[in-house]
Amino acid sequence: MTDTPTVFDVQRIRADFPLLSRTVHGKPLVYFDNANTSQKPLAVIEAMNAHYRERNANVARAVHQLGEEATGAFEGARDKLAHFINAPSRDELILTSGTTQSINLVAYSYVLPKLKPGDAILTTVMEHHANIVPWQLVAARSGATVKAAPIDQRGELIVEAFVALLTPEVKLACVTHVSNVLGTVNPVREIARECKKRGIPLLVDGSQALPHRPVDVQALGCDFYAFTGHKMLSPTGTGALWAKREHLEAMPPFFGGGEMIREVRFSGTTFAAPPHKFEAGTPNIAGFVGLSAALDYYRSIGFEAIRAWEQRLLAHATERLRAIPGLRIIGEAAEKEAVISFLLEGAQAGDLATLLDLQGVAVRSGHHCAHPLMQFYGVPATLRASLAFYNTIEEIDEFIVALLKVRKLLM
């Protein structure tokens, strides 16, 4: 994707996000839960509002003006997404409710028909449950197994171990592009090259990557790339799966219903060509209109500026947190996005999060849908501060002040 060079003015950007100006418990909101869901700029909110006010109709079902306008807006989102990730064709992009649906689609439509007893699916210890549980479900149906490649204490994937596990019985390899807990950026291109050498398709969970960095699926060399809209300024219930055309043409539909067919007879049904054969039922039309506006917003800022600012935030937050006695950062990979998980000696993560909320600071506590990763580090939960380009240095300092205040209460 090509960035639009701009001067990065964080205060101007913050003015585009209505929710950032609110107070919580009488204090200005500091929103550091962006890996959970991002806030939405006014452009996204207004685009959805305009859809319902001006062209609310179902897509691909009517020849009247409203229907044509709604269809154009919805399919326009597909075009923009394809360009955003440099997909070879818009027809390789299936619009879904998010990464979870996208991965399940691959699990049931692509992987399950290929599995037999003794086969395996390879993933990693750092994965979100959405990139573990679907594989376990299809493995249980087929007699296959799920293998997990290890990581080191820094939170980096041990690539040599991953490659060593790419044995002939592996029918699919899966890896997160960016860890939702650690912020670790995995070497997807290198992994994809090793998978290709062995004829093993690779699925990448891009949920935590697309909000922070340009993604080029052709350059990455993967077979499937799944992502979620609500983490990248867009409404909930939006996302997509990119897959190579040859896979989509060979895959049977996962869902059945309207709009994914050419003809239905009781003697048999013929299905539409990809991507529509995987998009049964009425989609989240207004949501994808909002996602389209979000992509425009990203382009108006440019990822070069976004990445530079977020890395500055990450460096500042890491330095301030390291200075707090008894604080342990979980995962310090050499290449990270702006996500920091940590523990404070003598305090439960949930208690910390609750007390920070009373100070106006929103962070995430818990296992972050990553039980195996928590087990690796020997902890039940962590506190996670996840930053976005609309956050500020001053907010980090306010967060540290609040954390020190809470620490004093709990010690």
Q: Give the integer Cα–Cα distance in Å for 88 and 278.
A: 18
Over residues 180-184, the mean pLDDT reads: 98
pLDDT greater than 60 at residue 106? yes
| Cis peptide upstream of residue 275 (ω within 30 degrees of 0) | yes
| Cis peptide upstream of residue 134 (ω within 30 degrees of 0) | no
What SS3 state is found at 90?
helix
Nearest to 237 by CA among 107, 99, 93: 99
Question: Encoding tokens for residue 138?
Answer: 């299809």
Over residues 163-192, the mean pLDDT reads: 98
Domains of the chain (ranges; CATH) run 10-31+302-406 (3.90.1150.10), 45-299 (3.40.640.10)
pLDDT for 202: 98
Binned at pLDDT 50, 70 and 90, residue 408 comes out as confident
pTM greater than 0.85: yes
Which range is least confidently modeled, 130-139, 249-258, 322-331?
249-258
What is the torsional sign of CA 289, 295, 301, 305? positive
pLDDT greater than 80 at residue 355? yes
| Catalytic residue check, 222 | no
Binned at pLDDT 50, 70 and 90, residue 7 comes out as low
